[in-house]
Structure 1
Amino acid sequence: MAMLLSPSFVFAGALLLSGAAHAMSDAELQAVVGQRLHGDRTGACFATAVIDGDRVSRAYVCADGGADMGVSARRIGPATAFEIGSVSKPMMAALLAGLIREGKASLDDPLSAYLPEGTRVPTFEGKPILLRHIVTHTSGLPAIPAGMQHADPANPYARLTERGLLDALSKTTLSRAPGAQFEYSNFAAMLLSYAVARRAGEDFETLIDERLFAPLGMTRSYIGRKPDGATVATGHTPDGKPTSPWDFPTDFAGVGGVRATLDDMVRYVQAQAGTAPKPLDADFALTHVAIPNDAKTPMAMHWMIAQLNGRSFLAHEGGTGGFSSFVAFDPKQKFGVVILSDTALHGVGGLGSLGLHLLDARVPLGKPLKPEADAGPAPMLSADDLKAYVGEYPLVPGFALTVRAEGATLTAQATGQGAFPLAPKAKDVFAFADAGIVIRFRRDAAGKVVALALEQGGQILQGMRK
């Protein structure tokens, strides 16, 4: 669980509450973000923009800035480059769209055609994984490659190699037909990033710089080659502690390796409304088109779609070990929102509440995360106490969380992933702060632990104990 690039789907339902949106001044935006962050226990900083055509309001706000926080957000500013995590994926989709426009690719191509000769790519009853399955997260591939369970959770993708990625693919089996079910997969996205770079004949960073960053004037956006003028943000865990950046092998970086400033992301969102230079405007337009799929998931090319009274929003959230991001826009109305944070908030609610409120003020803003004053000190648990939680908890078909007691430490391990320690926070509540994971155990009337709820990335998965 520690190594997932975390998307959040909180907007998918909440957008149904929304209506028409409107622009605001810098001061108004600063006040709204300040209300959301004032006293927030995470100490997070937000770089936020509301885009209404050519009109843009911006605010740089930190939770620990007090009454003057909108002015004195010292950690971040216009030059600050944030890890945008999975918001990188729609950028990768635009590069694929360019290859499609040039006749070098098709969504109906099998993934196998883009990989080195001899690579074993799993099929299901003869049905291959197509590119359309990858960009809609219906490939059937798991969340991460096999073997990554031993990766460093503080920087999990840094040591992944081409051979390791392809070997993991060769050992993977599909439990269902590609296209049948939505399952978010960073594994599939890494393969697509690698495939796009191979088909284009350039490394991924050169490709995205030439075809996207340079045409849009995103001069402070990068993957590994930091440009002059960009200041690297320090990421933070939800408890406010600095954490190491995440590094990606260049050709896998489409999964979540882009770093960008707020102004660059504003340019990116503005360009989605048809103002990008040719032929990039056509590539963006192609990524906006809904892709029919058997799973009936409202998806375009790595954009999630929410329909609203004849209006359509394209959106994506992202998260790495120390950062969170939110992008949503209506290309027809030329209206959008960007939020970049230097704190991993996807396990404690994410950026969705603020993002939705900025899209429409009738959606509740969300409250700052206050210290849990009545929680008291973390409980001291003996080895015998921990045994009460041990067991297997299926969360979804084929995916379970196994909880073990190892001496005085409780650990959890998700199917196909590595074990991670759980720190007690309150009665029957444990956390793994590095990945923004909170686990709440539930007892029956007799006091026996019978279930758990796992919270991460703004999502909650529940499982009954076997």
Structure 2
Amino acid sequence: MQATPTSARNKRWFACLLACTALLATRCSGGNVPTRDLGTDIDEVAATLIEQPLLHSTSIAVVYRGKEFIRHRGDMETGKPGPPTDATRYEIGSLSKTLAGTLMANAVLERKLGLDDDVRMYLDGAYPNLEYQGEPLRIRHLLSHTSGLPNMLPERVNTLLADFTDRRTPRDLNAVYAGYGKADFFRDLHAVEIHQSPGKEYAYSSAGTQLVAHILEVVYQRDYESLLRGFLRDAAAMTGARIRLSDAEAHQLAVGYHSDNPVPTTPMPQLPWGASGNVTASVPDMLNYLKFQLAGGPVVTESHRTLARFDAEFSIGYFWNIVSGDRLKGVYYAHHGGVPRSQCYIYILPRYDLGIFVITNQSGDQTAHAMEAAIDTLVERIAARENVGARDLSR
């Protein structure tokens, strides 16, 4: 799930990014290449990030031209000394969607299914509602958030998320999803109404990601989590990514804070498949994910392929936001993740052979903005190292 209403949030996010990077490019245009270690820059960015109101701690992973950095700063709990560590397990929220997209890209390359398949091919029973004026929902529509499905099922959750920072939201989410399983999801899916032609309009949908997980289970005849863990272990050396935790693993889960509540809150409730927002991982796991993304390869290349273009600057791949036209960053791939007690970002910037993952154990209406500023600062400093301002940035 996303931490705020997403269609509006994405518009604000991309507008902010473009404005910020224009300023950064101006400031970088005449600079000299710094000589100090990049790790020092990351330390400074992490320290500045946790100075923001309500932020307790942060972890940052960076891969830059083959060099790897992990930094942890702050204390997980107010008044209790104890920073996050490499063993800390974080809820990565909607970054989980990029993992589902990666699995779907692999399935497409293995010819297990096709992007233009009617999703009803993989559902039991009749779903005449999953079309609009004779045009069915197709797999590509799920991956590009153009299906017209609601953000969350059951639909009453969307009302709760409209006021995400209300202190009652975590409690109310837990109540809705207590005992909510796959049968409940399909019951609610039968009641969905599609009000627009699929493939035309962007409408963020975690429910669509859940449906992707179901389709993967059908074509591989395995449960989604075992598919995910097996692929990530073998392809990306991510051995610790999980959807459901054992008792021992649950003790590693980061404590976190919702909005301005000084009392730690509960984890994100379990969704039927967990593909849209229930993955947990350590920062070393996420560093390996950055390396996997930067290495390219057929699956990554397919997952980054544009499936829907909305304007000259914004398109969608296999759940990846693809941003172009940015003078400093070039074409890059990004995603935000948010649950009631953590938020994070992942950025893949091929221009610099650079991957950045930032996470904090607080989730409020200004958390994403603070992380965006941190990422912009890192990119600015790396661009200065490469003297980007003196080069032709049109490529």
Instruction: Give the TM interval when normalised to the shorter protein.
Output: 0.7 to 0.9
User: Which one-letter code corresponds to 1:256 in the other structure?
Assistant: G
Shift of 1:153: 2.6
**Cα gap change, 1:127 to 1:270, in 2 (>3 Å):** same
Do the aligned partners of 1:96 and 1:196 also contact (CA within 8 Å) in 2?
Answer: yes
Correspondence for 2:240 among 220, 227, 241: 220
Do the aligned partners of 1:84 and 1:260 also contact (CA within 8 Å) in 2?
Answer: yes
Instruction: Give the corresponding residue for 2:115.
Output: 107
**Cα gap change, 1:5 to 1:214, in 2 (>3 Å):** farther
Distance 1:332 1:282 in 2: 19
Do the aligned partners of 1:24 and 1:50 also contact (CA within 8 Å) in 2?
Answer: no
Distance 2:111 2:356 in 1: 33
Distance 2:364 2:374 in 1: 12
After superposition, residues 84-99 of structure 1 pair within 5 angstroms as 84-99=92-107
Q: Which runs of 5+ in 1 are unaligned?
A: 276-280, 364-466
Do the aligned partners of 1:79 and 1:220 also contact (CA within 8 Å) in 2?
Answer: no
Correspondence for 1:302 among 319, 328, 345: 319
Do the aligned partners of 1:324 and 1:346 also contact (CA within 8 Å) in 2?
Answer: no
SS at match of 2:186: helix
Correspondence for 2:14 among 12, 31, 34: 12
Instruction: Give the corresponding residue for 2:292.
Output: 271
Instruction: Give the corresponding residue for 1:41.
Output: 53
Do the aligned partners of 2:129 and 2:194 also contact (CA within 8 Å) in 1?
Answer: no
Instruction: Give the corresponding residue for 2:42.
Output: 29
Q: Which has the higher strand share?
A: 1
Do the aligned partners of 1:274 and 1:285 also contact (CA within 8 Å) in 2?
Answer: no
**1:38-86 CA-partner distances (Å, limit 9, x unpaired):** 2x331421101222032122221127999xx9xx971411100100000
Distance 1:65 1:190 in 2: 32
Shift of 1:348: 4.9
- Runs of 4 or more off by more than 6 Å in structure 1? 20-23, 63-66, 227-230
**Structure 1 residue 178 and structure 2 residue 178: aligned?**
no
User: Which one-letter code corresponds to 1:290 in the other structure?
Assistant: T
Correspondence for 2:90 among 82, 86, 90: 82
Instruction: Give the corresponding residue for 2:267.
Output: 245
Identity %: 20
After superposition, residues 114-153 of structure 1 pair within 5 angstroms as 114-149=122-157, 153=172
**1:358-378 CA-partner distances (Å, limit 9, x unpaired):** 222499xxxxxxxxxxxxxxx
**1:83-116 CA-partner distances (Å, limit 9, x unpaired):** 0000010110011111111111111111111222
Distance 1:360 1:208 in 2: 34
Instruction: Give the corresponding residue for 2:62.
Output: 50
Distance 2:213 2:334 in 1: 20
Q: Which deviates further from its counterpart, 347-356 or 20-29?
A: 20-29
**Cα gap change, 1:122 to 1:24, in 2 (>3 Å):** farther
Do the aligned partners of 1:236 and 1:242 also contact (CA within 8 Å) in 2?
Answer: yes
**1:190-222 CA-partner distances (Å, limit 9, x unpaired):** 122222222221111100011113432222221
Do the aligned partners of 2:58 and 2:358 also contact (CA within 8 Å) in 1?
Answer: yes
**Cα gap change, 1:65 to 1:191, in 2 (>3 Å):** closer
SS at match of 1:57: strand
After superposition, residues 373-392 of structure 1 pair within 5 angstroms as none
The alignment's TM-score, normalised by the length of structure 1, stands at 0.68
User: Which one-letter code corresponds to 2:294 in the other structure?
Assistant: A
Do the aligned partners of 1:323 and 1:344 also contact (CA within 8 Å) in 2?
Answer: yes
Do the aligned partners of 1:53 and 1:270 also contact (CA within 8 Å) in 2?
Answer: no
Shift of 1:5: 4.9
The alignment's TM-score, normalised by the length of structure 2, stands at 0.79
User: Which one-letter code corresponds to 2:375 in the other structure?
Assistant: G
User: Which one-letter code corresponds to 2:139 in the other structure?
Assistant: L
User: Which one-letter code corresponds to 2:99 in the other structure?
Assistant: M
Correspondence for 2:217 among 194, 197, 204: 197
Distance 1:321 1:44 in 2: 15
Q: Which runs of 5+ in 2 are unaligned?
A: 161-170, 384-395
Instruction: Give the corresponding residue for 1:359.
Output: 379
User: Which one-letter code corresponds to 1:62 in the other structure?
Assistant: G
**Cα gap change, 1:64 to 1:165, in 2 (>3 Å):** closer
After superposition, residues 333-412 of structure 1 pair within 5 angstroms as 333-346=352-365, 348-350=367-369, 351-361=371-381
Do the aligned partners of 2:65 and 2:353 also contact (CA within 8 Å) in 1?
Answer: yes
Instruction: Give the corresponding residue for 1:447.
Output: none
SS at match of 1:60: strand
Shift of 1:288: 0.7
Distance 1:147 1:306 in 2: 30
SS at match of 2:273: helix
Instruction: Give the corresponding residue for 1:166.
Output: 186
Instruction: Give the corresponding residue for 1:431.
Output: none
Instruction: Give the corresponding residue for 1:286.
Output: 302
**1:361-413 CA-partner distances (Å, limit 9, x unpaired):** 499xxxxxxxxxxxxxxxxxxxxxxxxxxxxxxxxxxxxxxxxxxxxxxxxxx
SS at match of 1:197: helix
Distance 1:271 1:360 in 2: 24
User: Which one-letter code corresponds to 1:207 in the other structure?
Assistant: L
Correspondence for 1:317 among 330, 336, 341: 336
Shift of 1:11: 4.7
Instruction: Give the corresponding residue for 2:229.
Output: 209
Q: Which has the higher helix share?
A: 2
Do the aligned partners of 2:268 and 2:340 also contact (CA within 8 Å) in 1?
Answer: yes
Instruction: Give the corresponding residue for 1:262.
Output: 283
Instruction: Give the corresponding residue for 1:430.
Output: none
Distance 1:189 1:324 in 2: 19
Shift of 1:178: 0.8
RMSD: 3.1
Q: Which deviates further from its counterpart, 14-23 or 215-224?
A: 14-23
